[in-house]
Amino acid sequence: MIDAVARGLASVPLPLRAGDYGSRTPVFEVRTEYNPERRTAVQIVPALIGVILNMTMVIFTAAAIVRERERGNLELLIATPIRSWELMAGKLIPYVLIGLVQTTLILTVGARIFDVPINGSLLDLYLAAALFIAATLTLGLVISTFARTQFQAFQLSFLTLLPSILLSGFMFPFDGMPPLARMIAQALPLTHFVEIIRGILLRGARLRRCRCRQ
């Protein structure tokens, strides 16, 4: 969006001293540094990793915990000698692995089919994905504490998914949204992951200083 506005300003007729707007010589040149062809896939595919992870991880975790509670298995597991963190680790680690596999598949399809560049470190990328997966799994656990049935878990999961898609910068430019919407978006994990993943893939930014919002 910022690129389009800048190009529009560059084509605005420039006034002469007498107020004549006949001159169309621009005073600056607009160059798109990280996506010179302005291809939509380059912006959408990296953010799509976060959207898919956000959707699957939250729904899987919330529904799985609620299902165990409905069947009465959760109380039986709590009564066993295993510790609470061991129980949660056993429930969540498989979903972490599934999320990393999803990340790999989307990256491969994006690079092979849509020619999305991978300019940054894969180690930084997978570390960011792992942290995001942990955040979404935590959100799923929070939802499972409020939901009493699997249907409620699905409803609450989608209730958090829609604001994430609309406010994270995936569909609309983040800087073009109203201040209140940006404040709400800062509380969503997907907002920060979209910023990080685009910076790593498109700019080759390092994770410790990734600032890439455009």
Phi then psi dihedrals of residue 14, to 5 deg: -95, 135
Tokens linked to 192: 């920060």
pLDDT per residue over 38-55, tens digit each?
778 888 888 899 999 999
Q: Where are the domains of the chain?
A: 1-31, 40-209
Which segments of the chain does DSSP mark as H helices, in order?
2-10, 40-71, 73-79, 84-112, 122-146, 150-167, 179-185, 189-198
Percent of the chain with pLDDT over 90: 20
Percent of the chain with pLDDT over 70: 79
Side-chain-side CA neighbours of residue 154 (13 Å): 4
CB 52 within 8 Å of CB 106: yes
Cα–Cα distance measured from residue 50 to residue 129, given in angstroms and rounded to the nearest whole number:
8
Give the single-character DSSP code of 83: -
CB 132 within 8 Å of CB 123: no
Q: pLDDT class for 88, splitting at 50, 70, 90?
A: confident
For residue 19, pLDDT over 60 is answered with: no
